Amino acid sequence: MLLLALMVVGLLLPIAICVVLALASLLVAMNDTVGGAVLRYVALAGGVVWIVVLVSLIFVQAIHALGRSDDADP
């Protein structure tokens, strides 16, 4: 269950980050530099969360692979 959740979040976060960055660019083009700066920081935080999710996904997959028993009786 955790593996599936990490995969979904890992796939959806880059899309959300791109949308937030596009909105930040739109706000800067409309002369709202403060709003654009805030959204850039939100996108940066999303990028950090995305990196944490990807590293966590690697660890969960490694734990899952080590937990499997290859010596199981058929």
Residue 12 within any structural domain of the chain: yes
Residue bearing the bigger pLDDT, 1 or 44: 44
Sign of CA dihedral 38, 44, 46, 52: negative
Dihedral angle over CA of 22, 48, 14, 62, nearest 10 = 180
Per residue in 28-65, pLDDT (tens digit) is 999 999 999 999 999 999 999 999 999 999 999 999 88
Phi–psi pair at 70, nearest 5 degrees: -80, -15
Residue 37 within any structural domain of the chain: yes
Residue 48 within any structural domain of the chain: yes
pLDDT at residue 21 tops 80: yes
Number of domains in the chain: 1
Q: Is 73 exposed, middle or buried (0-12, 13-18, 19+ CB in 10 A)?
A: exposed
Residue 72 within any structural domain of the chain: no
Residue 71 within any structural domain of the chain: no
Q: Give the domain extent around 22.
A: 2-66
Q: Residue 31 has what pLDDT?
A: 97
Residue 23 within any structural domain of the chain: yes
What amino acid is encoded at 26 in this protein? L
